[in-house]
Amino acid sequence: MMLPTKDTSSSATSDLPILVGIIGATSEVTNHLNTLLASNVAILPLAGELLAEETIGSCDGLIGLLDGDLGLSPELINSWAIASDYELPRLILAQHTVTGRADFDEILALSELVLNEDIAIRYFPIVDDEQQNYVGLLDVLTQEIVLPSGEVSAADDEHQNLTQDDRNELIELLSHQDLTGELLENQQKGFPVSLPKLRSLWDETNPMTVLPIDQWVSDSQIKSWLAKIPPRWIPDVFEAGVGKYISDCQDTVGIGIGLGVARLWQNNSVEKLVLINESDEEIDLDVPTGNVIYLDSRIRRDDIIRPKHSNYLVRSPRL
């Protein structure tokens, strides 16, 4: 079979479905995160058999929920290592860090220690006078206070002084990501560095970070992170032995990525879909239009989903 030679990094990938796995989240958290998603993005709760390497590796990104009362679960630790091997964009969401056993600073230290990760921190939560709730975020890069409403104001001297070391570390980290080397050179010489360039590097490099979710104080930051995830896991599709790029397929196609779950790439067709299993048995499906994922207990890894008339073969990508 011949694979297509079309560039998968082109603008043709911009509207492709994105699948983000999430570990340790309650239904309440998952439902809230679903309100922050673009139409081409879906969240898949990973638990039980869906924690298999093949399913995690079939996602485009991974979110782990860390609880200030409960710490890190073994499932999260194991899955994080898999996601790291696959170089998935990863984000930690921390809850119960205001009145829980561990505060936000302790969560950061625990994450770096247990997950063996270098974590870039841009946002620190700000608590109210009663030390019970988060009221906003301190952006250590811009030295601004960001409220949940999106309103922004300059941070006071106390906040700036408390986070100056964190700011210096973040600037150094981002400067090392500058391919031109200009920022790093200026930073090492003590020259002023470009704040717009640093912001751009934060967006481009998508560093691993931790965001608090108590009172949903980080909604806009989570939404921004989700919007930056590129489509990484794009299947190989063949028609009569010739590879087709997924955006050129005339039919909706899908492939099983684990026990009971499949990824879908839909067009505007309203044709009924079938599941083709390893025995070439055809099973009728009732798939809603627009779905990025489809859950059905009959699905197995590498099963094909397509219209009845279609002869497309769908294979897992060779990453």
Render each residue's pLDDT in the chain as its tens digit; 319 residues. Answer: 666 644 455 445 668 999 999 999 999 999 999 999 999 999 999 999 999 999 999 999 999 999 888 878 889 999 999 999 999 999 999 999 988 888 899 988 888 888 877 889 999 999 988 888 899 999 999 999 999 888 999 998 988 898 999 998 898 888 887 767 777 777 676 767 788 888 998 988 888 999 999 999 999 999 999 999 999 999 999 998 899 999 899 899 999 999 999 999 988 777 899 999 999 999 999 998 888 999 999 999 999 999 998 999 999 998 7
Element (H, E) at 219: helix 219-227
Q: How many angstroms separate the CA atoms of 228 and 246, rounded?
A: 20
What is the pLDDT, as a whole number, of residue 125?
94
CATH fold, domain 17-227, is: Rossmann fold (3.40.50)
**Who contacts 214 (Cβ-Cβ below 8 Å, separation ≥6)?**
95, 96, 97, 98, 125, 133, 134
pTM for the model stands at 0.90
What is the pLDDT, as a whole number, of residue 179?
65
CB atoms within 10 A of CB 36: 17
What is the pLDDT, as a whole number, of residue 1?
60
What is the pLDDT, as a whole number, of residue 231?
95
The domain ranges of the chain are: 17-227, 236-314
**Who contacts 222 (Cβ-Cβ below 8 Å, separation ≥6)?**
33, 36, 91, 93, 211, 213
Place of tokens 């019970």: 132
What is the pLDDT, as a whole number, of residue 217?
95
Reduce the DSSP state of residue 123 to 3 states and report it: strand
273: β partners: 285, 307
C-alpha distances (whole Å) from 110 to each of 68, 116, 245 are 10, 9, 43
Q: How far is CA 153 from the centre of its chain?
A: 28
What is the pLDDT, as a whole number, of residue 193?
77
